[in-house]
Amino acid sequence: MTTSNPFVDPNIASQATELSPSYAISIVIVLAGLPLIWVQPIAAGVFAIFGLFLVYQTATIRLVFTATDLDVYRSQEKFRTFPYQEWQDWKVFWFGFPILFYFKEVKSIHFLPVLFDPQMLRTCLEKHIPLKKS
């Protein structure tokens, strides 16, 4: 999805793909905590707080794939840039219900919860950083 969203710099918006947010993980975590209220109220509270934290993250963070970089925006400000040329590997865990996005750069490893459209994430990754066949 090409964007005209205020999260993305207007100079690159026509060449960029912004991933839509997905609240699936947040909702599952909050709902998973509900039955715990009767068994372990403290654990239920931890689940609820973590789920609400992920709701906030989903609402404020955007991933934008440009021609050369993956840009991370927080509240309409570019927070971080990851040049594709430094990527060595990536993977989205688990195929049926993607919850974790992993990628390795030359100098570091990153794990992100999948708080955006997982199918579009996979499509953009395959387009910009094709996995090397072993």
| Per-residue model confidence as pLDDT tens digits over 99-131 | 899 999 999 999 999 999 999 999 999 999 987
Class of the CATH domain delimited by 13-128: mainly beta
Write down the number of H helices and E strands in the chain. 4, 7
This model's pTM is above 0.75: yes
Q: Which string of b and e fits 54-88 if b means at least 16 CB within 10 Å?
A: bbebbeebbbbbbeebbbbbeeeeeeeebeeeebe
Average pLDDT over residues 45-61: 94
Annotated domain spans of the chain = 13-128
Cα four-point dihedral sign 44, 48, 50, 51: positive
For residue 98, what pLDDT is reported? Answer: 86
For residue 132, what pLDDT is reported? Answer: 72
